[in-house]
Structure 1
Amino acid sequence: MSRLRKAGLGLTAAGAMAVALVGGWEGLRTKAYIPIPGDVPTVCFGETRGVKMGDTYTVAQCKEMLGKRLVEFETGMRSCLRQPDAIGDKPYVAFLSLSYNIGSRAFCGSTVARRANAGDIKGACDAILAFNKAGGRVVQGLVNRRAEERRICLGGEL
């Protein structure tokens, strides 16, 4: 069950937070690009699935894609959390942002998920900081994003 949308009512508070957090960090680019040398083609709000260089989308298509993918990543994230509905909205959204960025499989195998499942939400929030590399090297943009995800996870305002 998604905490991002209420049937027929649109986004929940958690859904609005997720869109703002992920959309803000990913940024909107309607033409495919390579974010970091050696990375895969990316478009819209960080979408990589099936993207080829030269692809272009409208803003409306990008927003629709983000909404669908957030629900998809939420499903993946929830599958490995023992009690996802017991997690507060802010940690939940921070975990979803991380999952969206690193992938559901990586999230499910992470210390973040293990600590959350053990009931150690603060420890799970702290573990977010470890995901600051791309291509084997620390990337300042990821350092900044992880610090913001951790801050929100620990109860900070979005």
Structure 2
Amino acid sequence: MTDIKKQVFGLIGSGVLAISAAVVGYFEGKRNYAYLDVVGVPTICYGHTSGVALGDYMTDEECLTLLRNDLNVYYKAVVDSVNVQMTEVQTAALVSFAYNVGIGAFKKSTLLKKLNAGDRIGACDELRRWVNAGGKPWKGLINRREVERWMCQL
């Protein structure tokens, strides 16, 4: 986890999307061929799931374009939903979180309610609740949420 924290620090000032891309890329990894994720959802590139079918293939460049386009959508959802000031690192944490759980889940989350009520610490702590996939805790999600929580507190 120290590697991704160093990457985040190195990207401060580069913008929310650059930081988000580093975090998402680190935790999602990249696969050019479609595969089933841990809960059986067809997935490709950096965790993209919309419209994916097994057998699909994308080049590295197509994967980067898809990630950029996806992150723009999640960034917009985050900034449209949050009504308190945040740093670029805090915003990137929420973009990574929303990318992973979905916009609908993000918008309905207690995390967002607490954040908008001014309880930033409580909101950041909510990230620790989102570690299950298929009804059980996953080490990868636990690690990701700890990094997002750390970012949320910067």
| TM interval, short-chain normalised | 0.7 to 0.9
Q: Does 1:57 align with 2:43?
A: no
Q: Which 5+ residue runs of structure 2 have no aligned equivalent?
A: 1-12
Find the aligned partners of 2:80 and 2:104 in 1 and give their Cα distance.
10
Question: Once superposed, which parts of structure 1, at least 4 consecutive aligned residues long, lie more than 6 Å away?
Answer: none
User: In the alignment, what sits opposite 2:142?
Assistant: 143
Q: Which 5+ residue runs of structure 1 have no aligned equivalent?
A: 1-10
CA displacement at 1:112 relative to structure 2: 1.1
Find the aligned partners of 1:106 and 1:139 in 2 and give their Cα distance.
18
TM-score (norm 2): 0.87
* Equivalent pairs, count: 142
CA displacement at 1:39 relative to structure 2: 2.0
Find the aligned partners of 1:41 and 1:104 in 2 and give their Cα distance.
18
RMSD, aligned α-carbons = 1.4
TM-score (norm 1): 0.85
The residue type equivalent to 1:18 in the other structure is S
The residue type equivalent to 1:57 in the other structure is M
The residue type equivalent to 2:31 in the other structure is R
CA displacement at 1:47 relative to structure 2: 0.2
CA contact 2:78–2:91 (8 Å) conserved in 1: no
SS in 2 for 1:97: helix
Find the aligned partners of 2:77 and 2:40 in 1 and give their Cα distance.
23
